[in-house]
Each structure stands twice: as C-alpha cells, then as structure tokens.
Amino acid sequence: MADTDIRFDGRVAIVTGAGTGLGRSHALGLAARGARVMVNDLGVSRDGQGASSEAAEAVAQEIRDAGGEAMAHGTDVSDEAGVTDMVAKVMAEWGRVDIVVNNAGILRDKTFAKMDIADFRKVVDVHLIGTTLVTRACWPIMREQKYGRVVLTSSASGIFGNFGQSNYGAAKAGMIGLMNVLHMEGARDNIRVNTLAPTAATRMTEELMPADAQELLAPEAITPGLLFLVGENAPSKFILGAGAGSFAQIRIYETNGITLTDDENTPEAVAAQFTKLSDPEGQVELPDAFSQTKKYVANAAQARGLSLDWS
C-alpha cells in the first residue's frame, strides 16, 4: 500500500452491532487494515428480542482466521454495566481505545398514533443512549491518549424523516446534536467525531427493497466511507451520507431570514414575510449555537440603527 493509504496498525477499535450487516462489514474492514477489533453484538432479532453471542464470536473468529486480532462481547449497548465491562476487557487486553464505531440498533416500526411508548423508549435507548454510553466509557481513555475517532450512525429517517419511524427517527436525529457537541469538547484532545448516515441492504431493511436494489446496496459499499471517517486525517463534525458506493456531505443550513422590530414583530408580519424568511439565497452553515445568537442580535441592532461591538 502507498504511504497515503488509510491504515489502522496499532489502533484498537470497538464496533457495536458488528455481528451482521453494516457492523460486520465495518469490523472486517478495520481488521483488514490492521486494527485490533472488539466485536460487539447482543445477537438479538431485528426488533431487539432474544440474545446470543454467536454472531459476534463468529465475526471475531473470522478476523482471527485472517490473521488479525479480535475479541467478542455480547452486551446490550444500553446496559451501562455491560458497556463498562466491555471497555474494561479491551483495556485489559490491548491497553487503549482509538476508534469507536457506534452502529448497534433495532427497529420497532409503527405509526406514532399506534406506537406503544415502551417501543419508542427502547429504540431510543438502544440507538441514542447506547451510543452515548459506549462513547462516554471510551471518552476519558481517548482524552488521556490525546487521540480518538468516534463515529455515530444516523439515518435519512432521522435527518429527512420516514413514515412509521418516529422512535427511530428521533434517536437518529439525536446523533447530529450529540456529534456537534462532542466535536467541540473533543477537539483539544484530538478526538474527532463524525456521523455516518448510511442506506444499505441489511436485515433491518431487506423487506423494503427489491433483490436487484439489495445487490447495489451491499454494506460493503458503505464501509470505505466509514474507514475514512475514523482515519488519522479524518475530518470532524462531518455528516457523511452513504449508499451503493455513493457518498455525499449532508449539511444543516440557516437562511438569512428577516428581522422584525417593536410593533412590527407580530405573527401576521411573520406570515406576510414567510417567503422571504425561507429564501435560501445566502444561507449559511452555523458553526455553533452561539453563532445563531450573535447573528440575531446583530440583525436586531442593525435594524434599530444601533452600534454593537460583539466580536
């Protein structure tokens, strides 16, 4: 391989939900390029029922058979004690954690009107809380190392919406907010945090697409993007859309908008200028929440003819 090739020699990775589908592909991809991999999978059905460590162990054995190093752990990522045990075993065996790929997830689809709140809560627990627990367990290790690469797995269902997936969509949208904050808090310690928004033919989606589409949407077509996001020279705070070998950046913008002052600030005025406040021309991607505050205050000061120095 060339000097510019992305390698993970000496690096240790944890991949959750790695017994099948995308997680399996990610784990094998990392191992093929030199990483030692903790393969996590609870071994449940698509809706989170049952449990078995067979899938995780099979992937770990596949890595070992290919000459790599791997362990398996069957914890539910929403179980804090289990996550703590998993990370402790990684540290005892390899002494570091460089890469965390949060991939584990389940589906319990129903329309919002018919969904049981227990099903809503469980999906959020596995996706969002599970991602938080795994990342949090590794965070102090990465800070001490002054190195870390974290990927959160979102979805078009969370970013753009999908009928019947209010629980899944809410959890996946939460990944964006979590990434934005962790990017800031990890920057000084060389911890880079990104989000993968994949669409692939896995057991989670196999019923939704025809066979020929499933061939194009193989998980292996997404893993190169994941490997880029956890590489030495990875970006941070990047949302990577991926599927069928296509990769794109997903961004959240704010329009220039309008500013209403004093007696003009009425709901009727907002309605009257709705087209203008929605105009995308000149829209920008804000770097942080306070940038929005400063923008609005500057707009208000300008509208009132005030001089405000808020550099």
Q: What pLDDT score was predicted for residue 301?
A: 92
The reply to whether 2 falls in a domain is: no
Question: Which residues, in sequence order, are CB contacts of 21 under 8 Å at separation 6+?
Answer: 200, 202, 203, 204, 219
Confidence of residue 29 (pLDDT cuts 50, 70, 90): very high
Same domain, 45 and 144: yes
Same domain, 156 and 274: no
The reply to whether 5 falls in a domain is: no
Q: Please tell me the number of Cα atoms within 13 Å of 99 on its side-chain side.
A: 31
Same domain, 101 and 243: yes
Same domain, 121 and 269: no
Rounded to two decimals, the pTM is: 0.92
Among candidate residues 60, 28, 67, 66, the one with its CA nearest the CA of residue 41: 60
Domain termination residue (choose one: 208, 225, 249): 249
What are 81-105's pLDDT values in tens digits? 999 999 999 999 999 999 999 999 9
Same domain, 63 and 196: yes
The reply to whether 276 falls in a domain is: yes
Is residue 168 part of the annotated active site? The answer reads: yes
Same domain, 241 and 273: no
Same domain, 223 and 269: no
Catalytic, out of 147, 168, 253, 296: 168
What are 253-305's pLDDT values in tens digits? 999 999 999 999 999 999 999 999 999 999 999 999 999 999 999 999 999 99
Evaluate if residue 227 carries a pLDDT over 90: yes
Same domain, 150 and 196: yes
Q: Provide the domain limits for residue 232.
A: 12-249
Same domain, 284 and 135: no
Same domain, 266 and 234: no
The number of domains in the chain is 2
What are 118-160's pLDDT values in tens digits? 999 999 999 999 999 999 999 999 999 999 999 999 999 999 9
Q: What pLDDT score was predicted for residue 1?
A: 43
Within the chain, how many helices (H) and strands (E) appear? 12, 8
Percent of the chain's residues with pLDDT above 90: 87
What is the distance between the alpha carbons of residues 199 and 197, in angstroms, rounded to a whole number?
Answer: 7
Same domain, 44 and 119: yes
Q: Assign 240 to helix, strand or coil.
A: strand
Query: For residue 18, which phi and psi values (nearest 5 degrees)?
Result: -100, 15
Q: Are 95 and 141 in contact (CB under 8 A)?
A: no
Q: What pLDDT score was predicted for residue 172?
A: 98
Q: Angle of helix 117-124 relative to helix 166-186, nearest 10 degrees?
A: 30
The reply to whether 309 falls in a domain is: no
